[in-house]
Amino acid sequence: MTTFLTFTIIGIVSGSIYAITATGLVVTYTTTGVFNFAHGAVAMFAAFSYWQMTQSWMWPTWLALFLVLFVEAPLLALFVEESYMKRIYGATVVRSLMVSLGLLLILVGVAQTIWQPESRTLPEFFANSNVTIGDVTITYHQIICVIVAIVMAAGLRIYLRQFRSGIAMRAVVDDPDLLAMSGVSPRRVARSGWVLGFFLAALAGVLIGPELQLQGLDINLLTLLVVNGYAAAIVGRLKNLPFTFAGGMLLGLIEAYCIGYLPGHIPAALVSQIGLLTPVIFLFIALMLIPSARLRAVGRLAVARPPRVPTLNQSIRGGVAFVLAAWVVAMLLGGTLLANLTQGLALGIVGLSLVLLTGYAGQVSLCQLTFMGIGAFTMSKVADGGASWWGLIIGVVVCGIVGAVISLPALRLQGLYLALATLAFAQAAFYGFFSNTTFIAEGGAIPVGRLSVPGISLTGDKAYMVFCAVVLALAGIGVLAVRRSTWGRRLVALNDSPAAFATLGMSPTVSKMIVFAASASLAGIGGMLYAGQPLALSALNVQLFVGLELVLFVTIFGIRTVSGAVLGGLAMVLLPYASSQLPWWGIGLAGILAGVGIALMANVPDGILGIPWLTEHVRIPGIAGPSRRTEELADVQ
């Protein structure tokens, strides 16, 4: 009984925090249409700011709380709205997703720069004060969390019903036309949505920070903890606040009971991961309970000019030029930079898998690195820690099958929900598999060798880099050939109008499944080559954040072009390399630059390679497919 009570209380407390987080997400989403992937990062930022004020500068708690919740969070929200978000209202899911992912990376980057690694802990509110009921001890901090959540829910209810701006916010959800008539500008409502969302994120951050007594404040951990809030928001179908609140509580309780009762019933290796796995699985299940998206005629024409697709001849010439360039670079360089660039080329192949899946077919995936890991893992198993062509073939098949299986439930979903489902899968694979010592040797590294080509030794780093360049060039030529083929036309058609696609007699489900499988296989090949450079793949290489960064960089350069994938892959390794050469302030460089890129992207939907000036003045030969100028188009309706 005591155990039960203890875990129930723990569940209610974390449930309260999830409810606060999720409510913030839902408020922002319903008022602006933007699902803020950076919500967790805002909470993280607030927790660190609060630490800075109370622990480093020793300011009084009340002052720090006031500054973080009522000054920093709202100002940050307004700044973000003004500089990024206002440009993406009504944009496609992929674009608004990327912009909020960009914000996440900036906040993480800035936080990494300000708060260099050291151990930090936040004290609980009223530390060491508690009440005891029977055998169960409840801290004041826990009580405060629950009270804050209840007050928040009640306060929000009153605000949305009694206050003019609150009513306007509700109107956006229920009836945008009504809002227009009421005379409140949608922009103002959107601003309140951001401010309220950021405020609630900050509140969650301040409450959750002290819960991390063991781990200490950790930028990634805090940012991800709040990802758990996603699951609760999904229970509320991203619009219903009471359900969202209930979803938060439910998640908190399930998580607590799993931690309390599961050990002993599951493989020992999974025990330490229960806390991390439960929310992810909860999210996945919540997503699966969403009714499947029906095909609808939307009557919106894809307007942006597609990138020019090079002919086979052009792409071969481009590929050869690329390999020659890589050769020269390999001859000139050595050491870390050479190794990094080689891995960048391998990431370029993973980037190509995104071109196929997201760029052409319009399906969002945040789990490509998982396939990269599965590819490397299969290779390692088949070739016994080395590499063989059989390993390559089997790895490709395994990735294809896993990709197809994963796509099955995911296919019911579209846009945002699909993105979240792939995110949940990536996280589940990471916690349950890649960072699990049962499957992956102690230390979390998978040993992988380098493929050998008869007559050519690839053991030298230079030769291996050229080899990777050759494979990347072939993959690029292949992806472009796919784009020109009947099947490629199908993918683009599917992206442009799923409804018309189906009414021509083609099954969207089958096409999506095939493209998921093909893309997973390609990512798997990338993973084998990637791991072949340092002769191992570590769990850190397939972390969610790394995957998000890759998606982002490919998008920044142009996710509909092969060169976008190549440049995105290279940026992934060159930026950290540059950071490592820079003084202390270089640590957050990649994240910050990604953010700058995204800010740019809010204006240039097609990425840097789609910037009109660039496409008019620079012809990247063959392998590139710069898009031509996006024209104002004839109004269709």
Partner 1 sequence: MSSDSMTSPFLEVRGVSVTFGGVAALTQVSLDVRPGEVTGLIGPNGAGKTTLFNVISGLQRPDKGEVQLVGRDVTKLGPHRRARLGLARTFQRLELFGSLSARENVQAGLDARRDKGGDLTAQGLLHRVGVQADADRQVSTLPTGEARLVELARALAIDPKLILLDEPCSGLDDHESQLLGGLLRELADEGRAVLIVEHDMPLVLDICDRIIVLDFGQVIATGSPDAIRQDPGVQAAYLGAANDPEAS
Contact residues: partner 1, CB under 8 A: 294-299, 301-306, 486, 489-490, 492-493, 495-497, 499-508, 631, 633-637
10 Å CB burial of residue 397 (0-12, 13-18, 19+) is: middle
State the nearest-atom distance from the C-beta of 557 to partner 1, in Å: 19
Nearer to partner 1, 409 or 508 (CB): 508
626: which residues sit within 8 A by CB, 6+ positions away?
A: 307, 308, 558, 561, 563, 609, 610, 614, 615, 618, 619, 620
Q: Which is nearer to partner 1, 133 or 298 (CB)?
A: 298
Shortest Cβ distance from residue 636 to partner 1 (Å)?
5
Phi and psi of 427, rounded to 5°? Answer: -65, -45
Q: What is the largest CA-CA distance in the chain?
A: 79
Task: Outline where DSSP puts E strands in 428-491.
Answer: 445-447
Would you say 140 or 487 has its CB closer to partner 1?
487
What crossing angle do the helices spanning 93-114 and 544-557 adopt, rounded to 10°? Answer: 120
Tokens 């409510």, residue located? 23
Interaxial angle between packed helices 140-162 and 2-32, expressed in degrees from 0 to 180 and rounded to the nearest 10? 30
Judged by beta carbon, residue 278 or residue 407, the one nearer partner 1 is: 407
Residue among 182 and 485 whose Cβ is closer to partner 1: 485
> Taking the C-alpha atoms of 274, 540, 14 and 78 in order, what is their torsion angle to the nearest 10 degrees?
-160
- Give the shortest CB-498-to-partner 1 separation in angstroms: 9
**CB-based contact 243:237 (threshold 8 Å):** yes
Nearest to 245 by CA among 150, 177, 318, 167: 150
Judging by DSSP bridges, how do beta strands 536-538 and 130-133 pair with one another?
A: unpaired
Output 236 or 359, the one with its CB closest to partner 1.
359
CB of 487 vs partner 1, minimal distance in Å: 9
Provide, rounded to whole angstroms, the least separation between the CB of residue 484 and partner 1. Answer: 10
Judged by beta carbon, residue 340 or residue 511, the one nearer partner 1 is: 511
Task: Select 39 or 95, whichever has its Cβ closest to partner 1.
Answer: 95
Integer-rounded Cα radius of gyration of the chain: 25
Q: Are 307 and 315 in contact (CB under 8 A)?
A: no
**415-429 vs 389-410: helix crossing angle, rounded to 10:** 130
| Nearer CB in complex with partner 1: 117/505 | 505
8 Å CB contact between 392 and 471? no
**139: enclosing H helix or E strand:** strand 136-139
Minimum distance, C-beta of residue 159 to partner 1, in the bound complex (Å): 26
Q: How far is the CB of 411 from partner 1 (least distance, A)?
A: 12
Q: How far is the CB of 307 from partner 1 (least distance, A)?
A: 9
DSSP string, 317-369: HHHHHHHHHHHHHHHH--HHHHHHHHHHHHHHHHHHHHIIIIIIT----S-HH
CB 629, min distance to partner 1, A? 11
Instruction: Give min distance, CB of 304 to partner 1, in A.
Output: 7
For partner 1, the closer of residues 214 and 634 by Cβ is 634
- Give dist(CA 44, CA 76) in Å, integer: 13
Smallest gap, in angstroms, from Cβ of residue 351 to partner 1?
20
Residues composing the chain = 637
Query: For residues 265 and 296, which CB has a smaller minimum distance to partner 1 in the complex?
Result: 296
